[in-house]
Structure 1
Amino acid sequence: MGQEMKVIVFALAHEEYGVEVEKVKTIERMQPMTRVPKTPDFVKGVINLRGVVTPVIDLRGRFGFAESEYTENTRIIIVGVDDIEVGLIVDSANDVIDVDTDHIADPPEIVGGIKAKYLHGIAKIDDNRLLVLLNLKEVLNKSEIVQLENIEE
């Protein structure tokens, strides 16, 4: 047995994705955002989360999917990577599961249109359930984060 890794499962465009629980700060409902000029389209703006100004990106837009209407299931997953907190808009956040690290395969070059560099791997949960694990460092890629950091000044 490999180690167990706890991941939060969320849905995006009818696929299931996961991020490690320890990178997730909180999961919030949708809320009004302040738009920020001169940012990429997928940067939806900033929210004030308990006194912290947090940039929010739409993961669908980040991966080049068609963006969709937000519903009451839409969530903002607040993740922390390298001292930066960013909110990721997802279609819904479903549950927390344990993934055996032995069951994580390297991602193929492209999964559902997402480049492999954004992915940490594909986890096999049971016979017919695959979970795409995100590589948050790349999803929140440095050059874009630099833009986001400028927002806060």
Structure 2
Amino acid sequence: MKLESLKQEAQITLVTMALGSQTLAIPASALREILDPLPVTRVPGAAPFVRHVVNVRGSVVPLANLKIALGITEDSVDERSRILVLELPLDGEPALVAIKADAVYEVATIETAGIERLPETASIWPPDFLIGLYKGPTGFVLLPDLPAIFSAQTAQVATA
């Protein structure tokens, strides 16, 4: 999803979460459920981005580490850690994936007019992986482009 298509709607409902010290928001429409931490199974030889899978109601679901794609190096493990199960369009088909969040904060509806492009000087974040950002109650909130992240990470593995 790109910023222009996002701004075609007046508002968007987002789920805010923490990855390290960064606050991110994902469209609530992609969220299927939020789970307490689950046992994970490591997949031998898997790429670092999706090194584990989890059992979600009898389905094997890849557990992605968005910190790798976004270059977030801080680790944060506490009782607020959660697993978000998402349905994303990948290669034109809906796919069930999971991501780990250091904390999940809230569901918020924001005006899309308040979403801005990343500044050109914001080279610490991969621009292809972020739709934009907005000013939240406690600071800036990044909007990751999850389909772009998953497609790029999958393509990297396929060419390796």
Q: Per the shorter chain, which TM-score range?
A: 0.7 to 0.9
Structure 1 residues 52 and 111: CA distance shift in structure 2, 3 A: farther
What does residue 151 of structure 1 align with?
Answer: none
Paired amino acid for 2:49: F
Structure 1 residues 17 and 112: CA distance shift in structure 2, 3 A: farther
TM-score with structure 1 length normalisation? 0.83
Residue 18 (1) aligns with residue 28 (2):
no
**Aligned structure 1 segments of 4 or more residues deviating by more than 4 angstroms:** 109-112, 145-148
Moved more, 60-69 or 6-15: 60-69
What does residue 74 of structure 1 align with?
Answer: 81
Identity %: 23
Residue 105 (1) aligns with residue 112 (2):
no
Paired amino acid for 1:74: S
CA contact (8 A) 1:27 1:76 kept: yes
Matches of 1:23 and 1:61, distance apart in 2: 21
The structure with the greater share of residues assigned to helix is: 2
Report how far residue 104 of structure 1 moved.
0.8
Q: Describe the SS at the equivalent of 1:42.
A: helix
Residue 115 (1) aligns with residue 126 (2):
yes
What does residue 103 of structure 2 align with?
Answer: 92
Structure 1 residues 110 and 7: CA distance shift in structure 2, 3 A: farther
TM-score with structure 2 length normalisation? 0.80
Structure 1 residues 5 and 100: CA distance shift in structure 2, 3 A: same
Matches of 2:31 and 2:14, distance apart in 1: 9
Structure 1 residues 60 and 105: CA distance shift in structure 2, 3 A: same
Paired amino acid for 2:141: L
Report how far residue 68 of structure 1 moved.
2.1
Report how far residue 120 of structure 1 moved.
1.1
CA contact (8 A) 2:80 2:103 kept: yes
CA contact (8 A) 1:109 1:115 kept: no
Matches of 2:75 and 2:132, distance apart in 1: 25
After superposition, the CA RMSD in angstroms is: 2.4
- After superposition, residues 110-149 of structure 1 pair within 5 angstroms as 111=122, 113-125=124-136, 129-142=139-152, 144=154
CA contact (8 A) 1:61 1:67 kept: no
Structure 1 portions without partners, runs of 5+: 149-153
Report how far residue 53 of structure 1 moved.
0.8
Q: Describe the SS at the equivalent of 1:105.
A: coil
Aligned residues: 146
